[in-house]
């Protein structure tokens, strides 16, 4: 946005760029540029919010932001002629003058800033139309958020700066790796949907009678075996409630098992070509360079020993190194747990009409917590404590027993014994507290509780959100939910049972129950995945073709609906892969990869004997890759480091396979931080972990994997 604005021709153009950007990303906010009088123009702001009044504070903040924007764009030449507000003054006039430099006009028909037309049409110095065009095109596209956003921006920048010609840059879309990764997402979703993984959960639950080391070893090996053939994230999502139930039966804190669950999925993914997207990305790069690709089980020479060593390490040291962290529901006292969801009805001609809850005596009653007020079928979310009650209002309360008694004592308020909200009777029922984690593929990711209409959609009340080691209890209605967020909710048993069928939230201690059983489709899904593995293993069919055909089969046979298949694909990862493939190609085409490789080789050669040069360079490459992976995306690191690995092999005049293997392995084997791998991030909040917990248990495992790679790789893939 900054590039687009500062490369606009005039201030008017800059305002229009910002206007389109704001309206595209938030249609409820709009500002317009129109003629005010003969010499001035008015930039006005409007906010359209469904089911909510237009608060004066919203307009004051918006106009102040608009004023700051114009100050930044225009510089010292900017001075508003007038500032308009629709409402009366909320603060003394000197405060407004201090901000805007002029006294505002209150109770005006619009809200905005009046500025001179000569300033609006003044040219901006140093504007570059080409840069603006590129930035505008990017802003107006549906760009994914986060790392994928950065990758696409990098893709555009590589072309804009001439590092790659458009033909070369767009050639990355012929790389088969992202197609294969997307297809494996679909096949993994089909395997989860048919309940194949759920069959293994019974074995996990029965192991609770054994000792911690035995349970840990079996759990790691079981999860790693499954993860070797399907995507890691759905494996962790499916096993999460099973592992939580196992922890409860063993009288352990869940934090003693959840990090090992993530580590097991990561280790299992290193055992086969389809075990993780990183392996497929590296293999796709080799194919695009017409180099020999890896076979389906070739990586097992390194992955299986590393998995066995990791399982033994976690079995022997896990209980001592892993912290004891309680979940939110287990921290709550019994008194806090026993709450009732109650609805209070405001009678006509009641003495509490036109009073707030505080004035009616409800908010002062002990044991009462206000959830929301429903008026004419619409929930009033904005500051319900300040809303004045009207006849027919329904007040939703969470009460402990003494709170219900206090509510009954308020004149003009009737508790409703039989009232249905949506499809479920919730009045006067005991509410249970449950925790759930937001699924990475959930449709509610990026949306607030209010936007997804959480209460009506799930018939549950959100009480708190746990994110990155802290509990959020305030402003829950406006907090965008993220993958891995822990949501503390209250609802009836019927609502909780219904929530078990949801793909959006995974309930702790409660396995997911699909709305429609797909067990009859299990043989088809297993046969399809087996066919993909076998045909790729014997080189009968390229893996990308086999995986795509497998996707068509599971969709045509009804194992997975087309919309479910589409939703199962993590598009942000695919965009990230394409962007980083372009970056890797730029490193190669510009000679930067060979330049970096030469410096690595020269640096090692200066301190080690020539006969040991290759193994020391191999170790240095592994360490650099694993450190980068702990801080960045594993796929991004793999795409960037493979050209450097090939360049190092060229500089040393040795076989490139050992160097590519260590990049592939080190880019996945990231255990020391919660951001090193997606599954680490997912269990981070669920287990109530801290950043240092991953360092304590993960760094030794990183060292073990490094030693394993340095021993195995030179013996299997010779220099």
Task: Tell me the mean pLDDT in the region 147-159.
Answer: 67
**Residue 321: how many other CB atoms lie within 10 Å:** 17
Residues 6+ positions from 374 with CB-CB distance below 8 Å: 380, 393, 394, 395, 396, 421
Please provide the DSSP assignment of 432-494 as one string: EEEEEEE-TT-TTTT--TTTTTHHHHHS-EEEEEEETTEEE-SSGGG----TT-EEEEEE-HH
The torsion of the CA quartet 293, 297, 302, 303, rounded to 10 degrees, works out to 120
Burial (0-12, 13-18, 19+ Cβ within 10 Å), 479: middle
Is residue 407's pLDDT more than 60?
A: no
Task: Tell me the mean pLDDT in the region 361-387.
Answer: 62
Task: Tell me the mean pLDDT in the region 321-336.
Answer: 58
Q: How far is it, in rounded angstroms, from Cα 689 to Cα 681?
A: 10
pLDDT band at 316 (very low <50, low <70, confident <90, very high): very high
pLDDT tens-digit map of 245-297: 788 788 888 888 889 999 999 999 899 888 888 888 888 888 888 888 888 88
pLDDT at 309: 94
pLDDT at 475: 61
Among 127-141, 168-182, 256-270, the minimum mean pLDDT is found in 127-141
Q: How far is it, in rounded angstroms, from Cα 398 to Cα 89?
A: 37
Residues 6+ positions from 226 with CB-CB distance below 8 Å: 197, 200, 235, 268
Q: How far is it, in rounded angstroms, from Cα 639 to Cα 283?
A: 10
Name the helix (H) or strand (E) containing 436: strand 429-438
Q: How far is it, in rounded angstroms, from Cα 314 to Cα 121?
A: 67
pLDDT band at 413 (very low <50, low <70, confident <90, very high): very low
If you average pLDDT over every residue of the chain, what do you get?
Answer: 76
Among 318-332, 342-356, 464-478, 483-497, the minimum mean pLDDT is found in 464-478
List residues bridging with 238 in a β-sheet.
none
pLDDT at 338: 44
Among 13-17, 44-48, 124-128, 317-321, the minimum mean pLDDT is found in 124-128
First to last CA, the chain: 49
Instruction: Return the sign of the alpha-carbon dihedral for residues 451, 452, 456, 461.
Output: negative
pLDDT tens-digit map of 517-529: 567 888 888 888 8
pLDDT tens-digit map of 432-483: 667 788 877 677 877 887 777 777 778 777 776 777 656 565 566 677 888 7
Q: How far is it, in rounded angstroms, from Cα 279 to Cα 181?
A: 10
**Which pair of tokens denotes residue 685?**
């909040």
The alpha carbon of 348 is separated from its chain's Cα centroid by a whole number of angstroms, namely: 47
Q: How far is it, in rounded angstroms, from Cα 385 to Cα 362?
A: 10
Which backbone phi and psi does 712 adopt, to 5 degrees?
-80, -45
Task: Tell me the mean pLDDT in the region 166-172.
Answer: 79
Which backbone phi and psi does 572 adopt, to 5 degrees?
-60, -35
Q: Could you tell me what percent of the chain has a pLDDT over 70?
A: 77
List residues bridging with 345 in a β-sheet.
394, 414
Task: Tell me the mean pLDDT in the region 700-709.
Answer: 93
CA distances from 415 to 393, 403, 455 (A): 12, 12, 20
pLDDT tens-digit map of 65-109: 888 888 877 777 888 888 888 888 888 888 888 888 888 888 888
Nearest to 21 by CA among 126, 129, 135, 127: 135
Q: How far is it, in rounded angstroms, from Cα 158 to Cα 156?
A: 5
Task: Tell me the mean pLDDT in the region 35-53.
Answer: 70
- pTM for the predicted model, two decimal places: 0.61
Task: Tell me the mean pLDDT in the region 47-56.
Answer: 58
pLDDT band at 712 (very low <50, low <70, confident <90, very high): very high
Measured N-to-C along each axis, helices 571-589 and 277-288 cross at an angle, to the nearest 10 degrees, of: 40
pLDDT band at 331 (very low <50, low <70, confident <90, very high): very low
Is residue 367's pLDDT more than 70?
A: no
């Amino acid at each position: 946005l900054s590039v687009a604005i500062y490369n606009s021709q005039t201030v008017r153009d800059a305002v229009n760029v910002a206007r389109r950007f704001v309206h595209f990303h938030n249609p409820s906010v709009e500002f317009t540029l129109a003629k005010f009088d003969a010499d001035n123009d008015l930039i006005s702001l409007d906010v359209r919010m469904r089911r909510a009044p237009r608060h004066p504070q919203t307009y004051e903040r918006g106009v102040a932001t608009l004023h700051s924007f114009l100050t930044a764009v225009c510089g010292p030449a900017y001075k508003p002629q007038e500032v308009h507000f629709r409402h009366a003054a909320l603060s003394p006039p000197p405060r407004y003058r201090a901000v805007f430099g002029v006294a505002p006009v209150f109770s005006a028909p619009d809200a905005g800033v009046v500025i001179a037309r000569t300033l609006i049409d003044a040219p901006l110095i140093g504007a570059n139309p080409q840069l603006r065009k590129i930035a505008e095109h990017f802003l107006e596209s549906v760009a994914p958020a986060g790392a994928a956003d950065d990758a696409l921006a990098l893709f555009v920048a590589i072309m804009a700066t001439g590092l790659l010609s458009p033909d070369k840059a767009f050639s990355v879309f012929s790389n088969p790796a992202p197609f294969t990764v997307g297809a494996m997402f679909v096949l993994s979703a089909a395997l989860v949907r048919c309940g194949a993984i759920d069959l293994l959960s019974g074995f996990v639950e029965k192991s609770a009678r054994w000792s911690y080391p035995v349970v840990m070893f079996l759990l790691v090996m079981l999860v790693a075996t499954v993860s070797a053939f399907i995507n890691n994230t759905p494996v962790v999502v499916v096993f999460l409630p099973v592992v939580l139930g196992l922890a409860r039966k063993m009288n352990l804190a869940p934090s003693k098992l959840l990090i090992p669950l993530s580590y097991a999925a990561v280790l299992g993914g290193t055992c086969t070509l389809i075990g993780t997207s990183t392996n497929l990305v590296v293999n796709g790069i080799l194919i695009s360079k017409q180099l020999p690709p890896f076979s389906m089980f070739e990586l097992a020479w390194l992955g299986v020993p590393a998995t066995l060593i990791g399982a033994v390490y976690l079995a022997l040291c896990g209980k001592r190194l892993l912290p004891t962290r309680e979940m939110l529901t287990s921290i709550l006292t019994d008194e806090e747990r026993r709450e009732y969801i109650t609805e209070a009805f405001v009678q006509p001609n009641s003495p509490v009409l036109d009073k707030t809850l505080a004035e009616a005596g409800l908010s002062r009653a002990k044991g009462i917590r206000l959830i929301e007020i429903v008026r004419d079928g619409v929930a009033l979310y904005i500051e319900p404590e300040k809303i004045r009650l009207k006849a027919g209002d329904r007040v939703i309360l969470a009460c402990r027993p003494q709170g219900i008694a206090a509510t009954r004592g308020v004149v003009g308020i009737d508790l409703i014994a039989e009232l249905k909200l949506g499809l479920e009777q919730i009045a006067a029922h005991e509410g249970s507290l449950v925790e759930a984690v937001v699924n990475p593929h959930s449709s509610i990711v990026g949306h607030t509780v209010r936007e997804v209409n959480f209460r009506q959609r799930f018939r549950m009340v959100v009480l708190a959100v746990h994110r990155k080691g802290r509990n959020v209890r305030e402003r829950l209605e406006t907090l965008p939910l993220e993958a891995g967020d822990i949501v503390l909710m209250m609802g009836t048993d019927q609502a909780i049972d219904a929530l078990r069928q949801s793909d959006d939230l995974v309930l702790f201690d409660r396995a997911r129950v699909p709305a429609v059983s797909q067990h009859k489709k299990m043989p088809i899904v297993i046969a399809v995945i087996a066919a993909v593995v076998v045909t790729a293993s014997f080189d009968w069919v390229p893996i990308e073709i086999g995986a795509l055909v497998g996707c068509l089969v599971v969709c045509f046979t009804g194992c997975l609906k087309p919309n479910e298949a589409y939703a199962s694909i993590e598009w942000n990862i695919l965009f990230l892969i394409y962007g980083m493939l372009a970056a890797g190609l730029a490193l190669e085409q510009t000679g930067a990869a060979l330049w970096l490789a030469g410096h690595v080789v020269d640096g090692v050669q200066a301190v080690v004997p020539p006969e040991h040069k290759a193994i020391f360079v191999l170790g240095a490459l592994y360490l650099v890759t694993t450190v980068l992976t702990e801080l960045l995306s594993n796929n991004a690191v793999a795409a960037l480091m493979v050209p450097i690995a090939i360049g190092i092999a060229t500089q040393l005049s040795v076989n490139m396979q050992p160097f590519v293997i260590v990049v592939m392995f080190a880019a996945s084997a990231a255990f020391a931080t919660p951001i090193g791998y997606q599954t680490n991030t997912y269990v981070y909040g669920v287990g109530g972990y801290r950043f240092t917990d991953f360092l304590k248990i993960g760094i030794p495992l990183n060292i073990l994997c490094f030693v394993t790679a340095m021993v195995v790789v030179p013996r299997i893939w010779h220099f």
